[in-house]
Homo-oligomer: A and B are copies of this chain.
Amino acid sequence: MTQKQTPISEVGEFGLIERLKKKCNELRLSANVTSQIILGIDDDTAVTRPSPGMLQLTTSDLLIEGVHFDLTYTSMKHLGWKLMVVNLSDIAAMGGVPVHAIITVALPAKITVEMVDDLYDGILQAAQTYGCAIIGGDTNTSIGNTMVSATITGEVPDRFLKRRNGAKPGDLICVSGNLGLSHAGLKVLLREKKRFLESRQPDGFDSQLGEYTHAVTKHLAPKARFDVAMTAAQKEWVHAMIDISDGLTSDLRHICQQSNAGAIIYEEKIPFDPLVVQVAGEFNESALEYALFGGEEYELLFTVDPEHKNELSKHLPDISVVGEITEEKDTITLVQEDGSIKKLMSGGYDHFRQ
């Protein structure tokens, strides 16, 4: 290798993705493919058209032990459930419904048959909850960590497809549920893990997670918000949609970039669970930052034509309007409770930067 070698950390995850996207899209334009590609690597899922009038959605996520999950506090059943939800949430964010899933696993020797059973119980419970069939997969040994991967296809009628690029200046920015709770759950789990490892009697270790159940559950077993997505998909006044996997600011930035727009958000309008304020307090950290930058929420972020504001509360309960889309390209502005203004950097999770 005499060629210059660049560490991936230098370009970062998003830089790497841009580079690969360019390569793949160039080929896509020249490839002799028989099924029409509507969207390649550009949104929550790929979009293709196997048959007239209906679009097929495809998404894939790989979860790696030590990177995405920690088996000291993640049960195999929760892991299976979450593997499905992180992919299903992408299907929801496009306005679609899931159809099929392919599951691939790489298992080190420490994983027993019963643990695989538990993993699949979680996978199948999610499949059943959200109406999706497991049609195939691949099982492998791993000499390193446990790894689980799912590819899920879904479908959506043309008119219901919600992309990231449809936001218009003046649109209301909406989020489902509340924000920061998954990150609060993660903080508590990591603290508990540290307590456990430092405990002198690991066998008699008394876990103190009771009062944090709500946050821990949100982190370990999030829900895919099809309840919101399926209604939002049917409303032509919902202009753009994405799921919050990287964090509010980072995912809002995706919408802004693809819609050639900016955004303003108001601290006072951000929906908090009281537990987020409590946990952030215990760590001497800011609940606002949990909400702005915390990932793995799997809530939906979408923009709505302001003329339909009244219909929003009628059709979509459990939604907060947190700001508006602006014309100021790629700029996300936070209006703090005291009225002062702050520009927000992305701050979402980047796998390849430290």
Q: Give the B-binding residues of A (Cβ under 8 A).
A: 1, 3-11, 13, 16-17, 19-20, 23-24, 27-28, 30-35, 37, 39-41, 45-46, 48, 50-52, 54, 56, 58-62, 64, 66-68, 97, 99-100, 102, 104, 106-107, 109, 111-117, 120, 124, 127-128, 131-145, 147, 149, 151, 153, 155, 351-352
Contacts and interface: CB of A to CB of B under 8 A. Distances in A.
A64 B147 CA distance: 10
Given A24-B120, A104-B60, A133-B31, A144 B141 contact: no
| Most chain B beta-carbon contacts within 10 A, residue among A10, A66, A139 | A139
A62 B135 contact: no
B136 A60 contact: yes
A160 to B, nearest CB: 14
Contacts of A3: 114
Contacts of A133: 24, 27-28, 31, 33, 37, 40
Contacts of A45: 136
Nearest to A6: B113
B27 A135 contact: no
A185 to B, nearest CB: 21
B5 A155 contact: no
A35 to B, nearest CB: 5
A3 B352 CA distance: 38
Contacts of A60: 102, 104, 136-138, 151
14 contacts: A6-B112, A7-B109, A10-B113, A19-B116, A31-B132, A32-B131, A33-B132, A35-B155, A37-B135, A40-B133, A41-B136, A58-B136, A64-B142, A67-B141
